[in-house]
Structure 1
């Protein structure tokens, strides 16, 4: 079992470069960070996790690709990833270039975790309606994959269109694409069509969902044994990790608080005892 960590990287939390070093030194294999471009003050959309008040870190989140570049630069083995990147809210050509550059410079250590988003007013400020966000994410990821994999790449879709173009560097490792969110037919159809795996937030209900995910992979003509499942943002225990291992899950990403090193390092030490 491999353990990764995720933290809301902000201007007030433990510096991401220090967190990356500390995670690698303790034997963690990955570091994932989330994204919010901004939080409109109207707060029309209630917090996704059900809190009465949106936590402060949502307002202060660093750009994930810039933060992960710092993390990759000070480590040698640590996988760095987005957990998750709001793909509908990003220009796919610019994002494809940034992702490919980060993967290239890190030696293929990047994983692209993407999500559909929950904050209605945030995505509307990017010109994306809540109802269209899944379709926009799909096209943005498909367009980026074309730019990463082809010497000359073009794309013609409803939400993305660009003429045949050159775009280098190419990523070293793909990169793998994981989709975060709750289980369901729509989610698994997206994973099976254009991703490499699923990031269930918190990990609840994974066992019951696995048959449907594998069936979706099979229907898409892909080998169900190849799908990656990475429970995300969980609080680990030996029993929980043993349970995941029995399901064939090989990596779990553990949540650490968005706080100073004095708070974060003891949490990392506790988690590392489970390795």
Structure 2
């Protein structure tokens, strides 16, 4: 089982010294991946379903991962997740391809449709359109990355007669979310799925999946402390990678990383 780390581009661990120290520690302890989360703004005052208080520091995931790429050499880099409808897909395609180049092909783009209406409104995106935009933006980015002559005509983005280089060497796309639309999106437009939950939660979500394409990876944000038996439960469900969020467990981030490193070998 591969083990990763998520969410350390927020709060007290978001500064340059902490980021460098923790990323290098995770790499030295054998963690496979480092996932950065995304919220451009948060509602103030906090209201459901906002995940954090409005003054929570959240460093942009692509800026954060660029820094992590520069201070590590083997750690896989991932957005967990970028709220895709809030981004210009042509610009994001360039940013992700550039980060993939500079990191030596270590980039995974995790995306989701978003769930905070106030955040969508602040960036001028209709909350009701977020699913359609996510599908369309993924298709448009695929054209820019892989088509011999990129061209796309959609409701929200259109282009032709253009190219964008560098093109990524090995970017994987994974989709987060538990809805039927998110699962369809993961299977038809991506190479993996990013879920959240206990083994029982994930069992229920995976029951909604059709057959998975070859090479399709399941990554899960574990919501329970890791142990050999817990890892076996996830493995039996077909999970390829568990991603831990250290602040949800007892101890400092360093202690949590060291304690769980027994499962990274």
Mapped pair 1:84 → 2:112: no
Mapped pair 1:205 → 2:194: no
CA distance in 1, matches of 2:149, 2:45: 43
Query: By how many angstroms is 1:74 displaced?
Result: 1.3
CA RMSD after TM alignment: 2.2
Query: By how many angstroms is 1:180 displaced?
Result: 1.0
Q: CA separation of 1:177/1:142 partners in 2, compared to 1, >3 Å: closer, same or farther? A: same
Task: Structure 1: give runs of 5+ residues left out of the alignment.
Answer: 218-222
Query: What SS does the aligned partner of 2:13 have?
Result: coil
CA distance in 1, matches of 2:196, 2:50: 11
Query: What SS does the aligned partner of 1:117 have?
Result: coil
CA distance in 2, matches of 1:271, 1:100: 32
Tell whether the 8 Å contact from 1:234 to 1:253 is kept in structure 2 after alignment: no
Mapped pair 1:242 → 2:237: no
Query: By how many angstroms is 1:110 displaced?
Result: 0.6
2:26 corresponds in structure 1 to 23
Q: Can you list the C-alpha shifts for 1:216-263, whole angstroms capped at 9, x where unaligned?
A: x5xxxxx3x5321111253422221111122232211111129xxx92
Query: By how many angstroms is 1:211 displaced?
Result: 4.0
Q: Can you list the C-alpha shifts for 1:49-98, whole angstroms capped at 9, x where unaligned?
A: 6xxxx3467x3100100100111111111101000101110111111000
Query: What TM-score do you get using the length of structure 1 for normalisation?
Result: 0.86
Query: What SS does the aligned partner of 2:208 have?
Result: helix
Q: CA separation of 1:269/1:117 partners in 2, compared to 1, >3 Å: closer, same or farther? A: same
Tell whether the 8 Å contact from 2:29 to 2:261 is kept in structure 1 after alignment: yes
CA distance in 2, matches of 1:98, 1:274: 33
2:111 corresponds in structure 1 to 114
- Mean alpha-carbon deviation: is it higher for 238-247 or for 28-37? 238-247
Query: By how many angstroms is 1:42 displaced?
Result: 4.9
Q: Mapping of 1:57-206 within 5 angstroms?
A: 59-173=56-170, 175-182=171-178, 184-203=179-198, 204-206=200-202
Pick the aligned partner of 2:253 from 256, 264, 275: 264
Query: By how many angstroms is 1:195 displaced?
Result: 1.0
Query: What SS does the aligned partner of 1:226 have?
Result: coil
Query: By how many angstroms is 1:137 displaced?
Result: 1.1
Task: Structure 2: give runs of 5+ residues left out of the alignment.
Answer: none
In the TM superposition, structure 1's runs of 4+ consecutive aligned residues that sit over 4 Å from their partners are none
CA distance in 2, matches of 1:125, 1:155: 27
Query: What SS does the aligned partner of 2:175 have?
Result: strand
Tell whether the 8 Å contact from 1:234 to 1:252 is kept in structure 2 after alignment: no
Mapped pair 1:253 → 2:243: yes
Q: Can you list the C-alpha shifts for 1:1-48, whole angstroms capped at 9, x where unaligned?
A: 1100102413632532222111100110000010111123254x4135
Query: What TM-score do you get using the length of structure 2 for normalisation?
Result: 0.89
Query: By how many angstroms is 1:132 displaced?
Result: 1.1
CA distance in 1, matches of 2:215, 2:114: 26
Query: By how many angstroms is 1:142 displaced?
Result: 1.2
Mapped pair 1:232 → 2:221: yes
Query: What SS does the aligned partner of 2:161 have?
Result: strand
Query: What SS does the aligned partner of 1:214 have?
Result: coil
